[in-house]
């Protein structure tokens, strides 16, 4: 049986909201599953941020 995750309450609440997972499920989630979900979240945020970040760079290079 795995132990609850060793993270602060603030971090647990933040992750629970970001991942859309109930807090109780998050605290007993296996570490490898949590890391996989965090990786997916980071990729989604990076893809969502790419167009807005590349737009100002495009404007500067075309000037």
- Taking the C-alpha atoms of residue 41 and residue 18, their distance in angstroms, rounded to an integer, is 8
- Taking the C-alpha atoms of residue 46 and residue 20, their distance in angstroms, rounded to an integer, is 18
Q: Which two tokens mark 33?
A: 């599953």
Write down the pTM of the prediction: 0.62
pLDDT higher than 50, residue 15: yes
pLDDT of residue 1: 56
pLDDT of residue 61: 47
pLDDT higher than 90, residue 3: no
pLDDT higher than 90, residue 16: yes
Q: Where are the beta strands (DSSP E) in 1-63?
A: none
33-48: pLDDT as tens digits: 999 999 998 998 888 8
């Amino acid at each position: 049986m795995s132990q609850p995750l060793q993270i602060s309450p603030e971090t647990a609440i933040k992750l629970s909201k970001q991942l859309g997972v109930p807090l109780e499920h998050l605290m007993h989630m296996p570490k490898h599953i949590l890391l996989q979900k965090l990786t997916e979240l980071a990729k989604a945020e990076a893809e969502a941020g790419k167009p807005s970040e590349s737009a100002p760079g495009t404007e500067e290079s075309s000037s």
